[in-house]
Chain A
């Protein structure tokens, strides 16, 4: 493995790991707050247990998110010193604000976790909501940094010199809004579906049904609403990219040749050598419509870019399709849920419906990972779009592959440990119908 590939893989792996915990850290507190609200208003035991067990989930994920995030803030320098040397002062604004958001989050979490019985019940509840608000704020802020890499702003660049740096303008770059919107909604749909799936499974198995039923409904309600908004926001993103990063759009649609009435390609196998897609379904004019809102418009293809400025096509295209497919499925399940909640409550008890929800457990996170693959790979070969190439940002330190293997092992271990821990929490509650004691 050469150092560039190793470093890119390590960066992708670390971010791909972090994002799971970040999403859960943003959304779980809100679910916990809903359960807590119901406990405060109804006084039913099951809501108390639910609140407490979700809050433990929040704590476990928060710490794993925090350590993986700490790792990232060093890793940017360990792997891409040249990038950070130039980009740090430009895109640092959101990171410095994010510090405050994290702090507020950590402090609020301290109050919440250790504050049972110490504060008035609504103040205590509010600290839980604050955990969620600051979590979302930090997510939105850090996406501004990534958006800047896609849509550099706030500086002048000439012959390797970065001048007239304005960090505020850099933060307010064109890509921030669409990316942050799409990312935040994604966090809600992914976490909502994942949590709903796990509780649906236990409900299905007949474990402590009153508890798992409430849990599954709260989580799925959140997931379903988000799953509805997701494709709308995805469409805004795609139109935005068509203007801003035509090479990325062309790669994710495997659109090689510039043409009017461009077809939308669904499925198929990309052959990068012959620059074609085999065995695909083609909907004529639909790509033009999705990219520009008009069936006849010309869509820029990869042929407009020199070979060394094209992103990898096959993997970007497959990732995009995976994301959209997951999104459509989740929207469908969300639709069934909302309709049933409203009119046909018995459907929610049906085995097939529970089975469907169980099958959807990983879909949101698969879509999140695939979406980031589209964003990051679609930007290649650039690390700062149009300004600096990824290969020029690499550290001179050799042997990055060993770091990659090591961290791959560590992440695998952590993922296994966290799942095991969560499973033990739930098993305990199923067995004892009460909360595990802490020391």
Chain B
């Protein structure tokens, strides 16, 4: 039963990264586009991401609920040590969600207020994606001091390091990459398709380059990640699979197709995440000075896990066909 809960947890995280990431990325992409392209992106995102927007957001909540029901120690530790970045992330989520909805539902689509919503939407997309990357980086970098007593050490320096800043940047790039790839398949006009295809390709190269830099920064600042990765054959395999997926993506991205580039791009990101996950396995939160917390050493009692697993399975029966139906119903017409 524990396995079912863990699988649901990882599926939620993965879907949040892929779907939510594309959603964040659309906002970030606007920043890096000319005025005319901004409008193009906006119209497309409204028609494609709009209907599923709320559902994307739910994956994060499912993951959090799984944490506090089934792995309360992890939840409590996470929200104590990473109190500040989690707070920052929440501010970003609030600003983004409200700006998105306001800019579409304001009855008067006049200049100033729309400018303000757009600005907030873009800025908070960038900010939130960056903070999510920082949080991810902090969890895996063996830098949280379980025994420290000084405020700065406990609450700040555990997540403000060169490595976490690098993972923050990496996650923003990943979001833009996912969004651009997703939007290729949603465009009807050849010129739009071309535009997103180019963006997607460029950002795939940036991911490749920045991923390397991030690992290097980790290596220089004594984050044990790279060494551990090289030692474990499982994580090395995941890493190699991400490379293979990337090459496959490079081969087919020119085609301008809808599904294969999406799947390839999703696979690249999935394997990068899997590499990080497997490196620290079985731990989920790593500490600097003692063994970290894992799903196994912090699971709640059997009855709780059993009920949760059933709730998730039954929920899945309702949710998954619903989400698929929703996405399919609103696919852009060719």
Using A81-B80, A97-B315, A103-B315 as known contacts, say yes or no to A109 and B54 having CB atoms under 8 A apart.
yes
Contact partner of B51 (CB less than 8 A), chosen from A88, A100, A114, A425, is A114
Whether A436 lies near B69 (C-beta < 8 A) is no
Whether B318 lies near A100 (C-beta < 8 A) is yes
Other CB < 8 Å A-B pairs besides A93-B311, A103-B323, 11 of them?
A56-B105, A62-B54, A70-B90, A74-B64, A81-B75, A88-B72, A89-B69, A92-B69, A167-B303, A417-B98, A438-B105
A-facing residues in B58-100 (Cβ within 8 Å): 58, 60-62, 64-66, 68-70, 72-73, 75-80, 83, 86-87, 90-91, 93-94, 97-98, 100
A77 to B77, CA, bound (A): 9
A409 to B302, CA, bound (A): 43
Q: Does A286 make an interface contact (CB < 8 A)?
A: no
Q: Which 9 A-B residue pairs are closest in the complex by CB-CB distance?
A: A92-B69, A77-B79, A89-B300, A100-B315, A106-B54, A428-B107, A81-B76, A436-B107, A88-B72
Contact partner of B307 (CB less than 8 A), chosen from A78, A98, A168, A417, is A168
Q: Interface residues of B, CB < 8 Å — how many?
A: 66
Q: Does A278 make an interface contact (CB < 8 A)?
A: no
Using A107-B323, A165-B303 as known contacts, say yes or no to A73 and B65 having CB atoms under 8 A apart.
yes
Q: Does B57 make an interface contact (CB < 8 A)?
A: yes
20 contacts between A and B (CB under 8 A): A66-B54, A67-B94, A68-B94, A84-B68, A85-B73, A89-B70, A92-B68, A96-B311, A96-B312, A100-B314, A100-B318, A109-B54, A110-B52, A111-B326, A165-B303, A168-B307, A396-B80, A421-B102, A421-B106, A425-B107
- Residues of B near A421 (CB, < 8 A) are 102, 105-107
Using A165-B304, A395-B83 as known contacts, say yes or no to A410 and B75 having CB atoms under 8 A apart.
no
A75 to B68, CA, bound (A): 12
Using A88-B72, A93-B307, A165-B301 as known contacts, say yes or no to A78 and B65 having CB atoms under 8 A apart.
no
Q: Does B104 make an interface contact (CB < 8 A)?
A: yes
Q: Does A113 make an interface contact (CB < 8 A)?
A: yes
Q: Does B50 make an interface contact (CB < 8 A)?
A: yes
Using A73-B61, A90-B304, A424-B106 as known contacts, say yes or no to A95 and B83 having CB atoms under 8 A apart.
no
- Residues of A near B311 (CB, < 8 A) are 93, 96-97, 99-100
Whether A99 lies near B315 (C-beta < 8 A) is yes
Q: Does B329 make an interface contact (CB < 8 A)?
A: yes
Whether B43 lies near A439 (C-beta < 8 A) is yes
- Residues of A near B301 (CB, < 8 A) are 89, 165
Q: Does B109 make an interface contact (CB < 8 A)?
A: yes
Contact partner of B86 (CB less than 8 A), chosen from A74, A98, A109, A168, is A74
- Residues of B near A56 (CB, < 8 A) are 105
Whether B308 lies near A96 (C-beta < 8 A) is yes
Whether B304 lies near A398 (C-beta < 8 A) is no
A106 to B62, CA, bound (A): 13
- Residues of A near B315 (CB, < 8 A) are 96-97, 99-100, 103
Within the complex, what minimum Cβ distance (angstroms) separates A284 from chain B?
49
Within the complex, what minimum Cβ distance (angstroms) separates B285 from chain A?
13
Whether A96 lies near B58 (C-beta < 8 A) is no
Within the complex, what minimum Cβ distance (angstroms) separates B204 from chain A?
30
Q: Mark A54-85, 1 if CB is under 8 A from B, else 0.
A: 00100110111011111101111110011011
Whether B78 lies near A96 (C-beta < 8 A) is no
Interface residues of B, Cβ cutoff 8 Å to A: 42-43, 46, 50-55, 57-58, 60-62, 64-66, 68-70, 72-73, 75-80, 83, 86-87, 90-91, 93-94, 97-98, 100-102, 104-109, 151, 155, 300-301, 303-304, 307-308, 311-312, 314-315, 318-319, 322-323, 325-326, 329-330
Whether B308 lies near A92 (C-beta < 8 A) is yes
Whether A71 lies near B90 (C-beta < 8 A) is yes
Contact partner of A66 (CB less than 8 A), chosen from B97, B307, B323, B329, is B97
Q: Does A118 make an interface contact (CB < 8 A)?
A: yes
Whether A104 lies near B98 (C-beta < 8 A) is no
The residue in chain A whose Cβ has the minimal distance to the Cβ of B82 is A78
- Residues of B near A106 (CB, < 8 A) are 54-55, 57-58
Q: Does A1 make an interface contact (CB < 8 A)?
A: no
The residue in chain B whose Cβ has the minimal distance to the Cβ of A107 is B322
Whether B303 lies near A77 (C-beta < 8 A) is no
A429 to B87, CA, bound (A): 39
- Residues of B near A396 (CB, < 8 A) are 80
- Residues of A near B322 (CB, < 8 A) are 103-104, 107
Within the complex, what minimum Cβ distance (angstroms) separates A54 from chain B?
12
Q: What secondary structure prevails in chain B residues at the interface with A?
A: helix
Using A96-B311, A97-B311, A166-B303 as known contacts, say yes or no to A84 and B58 having CB atoms under 8 A apart.
no
A397 to B311, CA, bound (A): 33
Q: Interface residues of A, CB < 8 Å — how many?
A: 69
A166 to B51, CA, bound (A): 38
Q: Does A282 make an interface contact (CB < 8 A)?
A: no
Within the complex, what minimum Cβ distance (angstroms) separates B328 from chain A?
12
- Residues of B near A177 (CB, < 8 A) are none
Contact partner of B72 (CB less than 8 A), chosen from A60, A62, A89, is A89
A86 to B303, CA, bound (A): 15
- Residues of B near A82 (CB, < 8 A) are 76
Within the complex, what minimum Cβ distance (angstroms) separates A418 from chain B?
8
B-facing residues in A372-431 (Cβ within 8 Å): 395-398, 403, 406, 410, 414, 417, 421, 424-425, 427-429
Whether A424 lies near B108 (C-beta < 8 A) is yes
- Residues of B near A63 (CB, < 8 A) are 54, 97-98, 100-101
Whether B102 lies near A417 (C-beta < 8 A) is yes
A92 to B101, CA, bound (A): 30
A82 to B106, CA, bound (A): 42
- Residues of A near B94 (CB, < 8 A) are 67-68, 71, 410, 414
A100 to B322, CA, bound (A): 11
- Residues of B near A126 (CB, < 8 A) are none
- Residues of A near B312 (CB, < 8 A) are 96
A148 to B317, CA, bound (A): 28
Whether A76 lies near B68 (C-beta < 8 A) is yes
Whether B307 lies near A67 (C-beta < 8 A) is no
- Residues of A near B60 (CB, < 8 A) are 70
Using A89-B300, A111-B326, A166-B303 as known contacts, say yes or no to A78 and B54 having CB atoms under 8 A apart.
no
Whether B93 lies near A70 (C-beta < 8 A) is yes
A398 to B108, CA, bound (A): 44
A410 to B124, CA, bound (A): 14
Using A93-B311, A424-B107, A439-B104 as known contacts, say yes or no to A84 and B72 having CB atoms under 8 A apart.
yes
A344 to B105, CA, bound (A): 39
Q: Does A102 make an interface contact (CB < 8 A)?
A: yes
Q: Mark A256-290, 1 if CB is under 8 A from B, else 0.
A: 00000000000000000000000000000000000
